[in-house]
Amino acid sequence: MQIAIDTPYVTISEFVVRSGQSKSAVERAIKTGQYLIRPKEEGSKSAVLINMVHMTMEAAAQAERAMGRANAQ
């Protein structure tokens, strides 16, 4: 399996466009730890950036597990 990632991090607004989720759903997923974000320094006003590398690795692992189950049947 080969996967190409166009950028390691995206803003919340870019992730909303790419995923089709609402902004509030994405913010909730960040708050609950479902989506990893780039660490920020305390007091920083920089944009929240979602870690696309982690998301891609998680999706690839999930696909491999699903393929393993399908092949076992």
Residue 28 placed within a domain? yes
Res. 16 pLDDT band, cuts 50 70 90: very high
End-to-end C-alpha distance for the chain, whole angstroms: 21
| Within a domain: 40 | yes
> What percentage of the chain carries pLDDT values higher than 90?
73
Q: What is the pLDDT of residues 24-58, one digit of tens each?
A: 999 999 999 999 999 988 888 899 999 999 999 99
The structural domain count of the chain equals: 1
Q: Which residue range forms the structural domain that includes residue 36?
A: 9-72
The Cα 35–Cα 27 span in angstroms is 9
pLDDT of amino acid 1: 65
Give the span between the Cα atoms of 37 and 31, in whole angstroms: 10
Entry pTM: 0.82
Both tokens of 60, joined, read 């690839």
Q: Is residue 13 part of a domain?
A: yes
The answer to whether residue 2 is domain-embedded is: no
